[in-house]
Amino acid sequence: MSPEFIVSFGKEAIILTILLSLPMLGLGLIVGLLVSIFQAVTSIQEMTLMFVPKILAVFLGLLFFAPWMLEKIMTYTEKLILNIPIYIR
């Protein structure tokens, strides 16, 4: 195995990790921004108001995006397993 292969292999894994985490991170960011604006407008500084909506949004996003995420990770794993003979040469 060449160093270029190992770097590309790691790069692909990192890209997949970022791609899979992006929907939940984006939803958390959007809901956090909306809650912060709401808190600034109403002068309510309750800490649980910040965390509970973000947790719920991330959970709902996980439920919504789970089939897509599962398909991506299964495709990657299938490709990885099918190419094991190429990797050990």
Reference 28, options 3, 6, 60; nearest CA is 60
Q: Model pTM? A: 0.78
pLDDT confidence of 47, banded at 50, 70, 90?
confident
Mean residue pLDDT across the chain: 91
Answer yes or no: is pLDDT of 32 > 80.
yes
The better pLDDT of the pair 30, 85 is held by 30
Buried b (16+ CB within 10 A) or exposed e, 41-69: eeeeeeeeebeebbeebbeebeeebeeeb
Position 86 pLDDT exceeds 90: no
Is the per-residue pLDDT at 1 higher than 90?
A: no
